[in-house]
Structure 1
């Protein structure tokens, strides 16, 4: 089959997937598999070859990341139940003060807390950001909303153990330790630079308090409406209990922390019998450290059976999960830990199916000959592959509105190119993640949760979320291109 025909058929298949998700409201995982099946048949694989490749692609990515995603989501669910997020944010405010807290808040959410699923992390941290905002002055709401939007979206696709970052690593056969190290190298300057630029714009006239923020009366009324938005998020955020209504969210200790006035819990450290924050996060940080150490030692050609075993991502995250469960049993009790695990399993199932469907599409694209065609036009010393994958992911995100789907699909299209041209696949993963952040808009559930829970108008959210995250998307691409010079 001629090259132009394969390229055209692939483009039509991708557009068909977008149409099914956006217009027909078909489940994204189903749409990806349907598109993959159509692409396989249209490029001459035949019924048997197409179905075998779909199943093989699903199985291959599950082999790479299935348990990793499950362990990460379960850890996040237990941490959420223990109220770790609320305490961490309170500590940041005390340590860094009003001027530095948006940066510290953003870096913490974008890096440390990525084992917690995005919607849950947003719903738990938004009331705390809302409480911090008045301490930052006139533009406090704008700064905190921007910090949340940028860090939440960047973290899920650039930082391990964010579910999309783990999926991208598996899809492109990137060692998880490399994804962790290089993702950290990209995400830290991305968040800092993007927040610095956005804060300058906000204070130089971009943000209009009268039109971009809701009045106290409007915000109170929006509290009731946001319950419906959280209900819409529930299929993706099943860690939320029935008591977690807008404005009266329940933290890990069962106390109401939602849109309430400042209280004693934010002013003075932990309660007498409350464990230290370091203890709560120690198992997860240990797991990430083991993965990073294993990757670094591999780079310097050091090998030890014990080190190789405990630093293997699936074992390291399992150690983190067991440690987090052990800490949880002594802080919130066995029953609440078990309930958190049940919710985590429910959530991870949805993520795994979507990730596997993305793997199926990637396998079909590779088998169709698309990789051979693209390999003719790209060279390892060219930025073209990274810019191309960014553009594809950005276009898909604008159409579909899902960061994870657009990143996984774009990476799947160019995955076959990495091995042929010698380009480090971690760069493709980071470029796909960066592109998937471009123009987070009204099709995104995150957009409306940020609008409702932080007291912004739709116009204000277009500035803090859409503009802020789009800026981060471009900055992340720039950081990835710079990184590509050195690796």
Structure 2
């Protein structure tokens, strides 16, 4: 079954102006958003709001109707994606605060040989990155990368690149990560199908951009391991470990929402018309909001108990998880508002007709739109929300499999060419003590590889779906 749509069923849209004026208004609105973010350094939420309302007014929708349309889209988005993002943030903070993330990392890395370590770190990055926001996962994994490189004796890039590749691929391609969920909801895609196809594309992408590319990255940037995050163990001491959940418990909690959503998808394939009974239970448990809500509750019971967290510690963990995502929620909601304005003006219909008559692959077009916005703004979140909003009317005319693949190419495009206007670029550079040139040759190239390999993988899947 599909994720809930941003927009309820409504009467056919009456274009607010002629095709030429609508196209000019659409281009002007997107250009305004990009200029506000990149040149004037206006906050992305405010930029999206101003651009959406300005687009509506330029398309002759009127000031009042433009604001109302934006508010409707914002509200519908928050009613679906906002809840998911909140639950995801809570679960990720619990995983980190309880020591569950540390347990997963220590267990997997401790059982790997030096030769297998790059492959293991790719798996660690993917696993830890699955339930967490990219920036949170990056900050959490940086000490792990540096400590593993120091103790293993491997070049820093042989450890760092695979880990970051696993983290970044999850960020762009695989739900329940918030990025793909935003696109799934905007395009009304089948979540289970998108999840399954995302995993298929993600595995070879992580391998190519991670362990394989890290061999070249280590030559291009022979960076010494930074003198950060030293522990008592590094000085020959054997400190007592803090209480942590078991590896099995932590792994179960991370994979639980994915298992529930996949179970629902399989049930839809096996018995699409069945109602009630086991099928009804799986439909309920596999709903993204329910699955992530269950993960939070199970995390409170299992992770907190394993980490010996009392009620006050659990309450503090949950409370402090939400303020950092306020900005992300507003940006995502504003993206939904922009999408609604594009639909209500009739611009979406113009785009849909142009795409269907152009002969250009809709998947390549979706990837290219996301790439342009990503390179211009430096924000993967803005790229996903804006590209999904622009292409949502096109998705309404496509089969379910193609819509799922469109979600993946938008996610892939949102990762392309991370450079100096991207906060992630500077986080990686500073943590690892690299120069700008070294960061461009490693991190930026890795992101481009992820984006292009994912696009190729999706296009290959499109041949058989």
Instruction: State the TM-score, normalizing by the size of structure 1.
Output: 0.84
Aligned pair 1:127/2:140, yes or no?
A: no
Where 2:111 maps in the other structure, the secondary structure is helix
Distance 1:259 1:358, change over 3 A: farther
Q: Distance in 2 between matches of 1:470 and 1:363?
A: 31
User: Are residues 1:283 and 2:253 paired?
Assistant: yes
Query: Shift in Å at residue 392 of structure 1?
Result: 1.5
Q: Which moved more, 1:20-29 or 1:379-388?
A: 379-388
* Structure 1 equivalent of residue 30 of structure 2: 14
Q: How many pairs are equivalent?
A: 441
- For the residues of structure 2 that align with 1:111 and 1:485, how far apart are their CA atoms? 29
Per the TM alignment, residue 379 of structure 1 is displaced from its structure 2 partner at its CA by 4.2
SS state of the match for residue 434, structure 2?
Answer: coil
SS in structure 2 opposite 1:439? coil
Match of 1:294 in 2: 264
Q: Any residues of structure 2 matched to 1:69-108 within 5 Å, and which?
A: 69-108=85-124
Provide closer, same or farther for how the CA distance between residues 146 and 46 of structure 1 changes in structure 2, counting only shifts above 3 A: same
1:406-436 CA-partner distances (Å, limit 9, x unpaired): 1211121111101124463222211111111
Q: Which runs of 5+ in 2 are unaligned?
A: 1-16
**Root mean square deviation of aligned Cα:** 2.7
1:59 is aligned to 75
Q: Is the 8 A contact 1:7 1:370 kept in 2?
A: yes
Aligned to 1:315: 290
Distance 1:32 1:208, change over 3 A: closer
Give SS of 1:283's match: helix
2:12 corresponding residue in structure 1: none
Alignment counterpart, residue 457 of structure 1, candidates 435, 440, 465: 435
Which of 414, 418, 427 is matched with 1:436 structurally? 414
Alpha-carbon distance, 1:295 to partner: 1.4
Candidates 445, 448, 456, aligned match of 1:470: 448
Pair 1:425 & 2:403 matched? yes
**SS state at 1:98 partner:** coil
Distance 1:273 1:59, change over 3 A: closer
DSSP-derived class of the 1:99 partner: coil
User: Residues 312, 169 of structure 1: CA spacing in aligned structure 2 closer, same or farther, 3 A cutoff?
Assistant: same
| Cα deviation code 1:211-247 (max 9, x no counterpart) | xx25x7xx45xxxxxxxxxxxxxxxxxxxxxxxxxx4
- 1:186 aligns to what? 201
Q: Does the 8 Å contact 1:106/1:148 carry over to 2? A: yes
Which structure 2 residues correspond to residues 118-197 of structure 1 after superposition, within 5 A?
118-134=134-150, 140-197=155-212
Cα shift at 1:170: 1.5
Deviation digits for residues 54-99 of structure 1, max 9, x if unmatched? 1111122223222111111110011010122222222222223222
> Alpha-carbon deviations, 1:17-72, whole Å to 9, x = none?
01111222211111101100011111111123212211111122223222111111
- CA contact under 8 A between 1:65 and 1:170: conserved in structure 2? yes
- 2:193 & 2:91 partners in 1: Cα distance? 21
DSSP-derived class of the 2:132 partner = coil
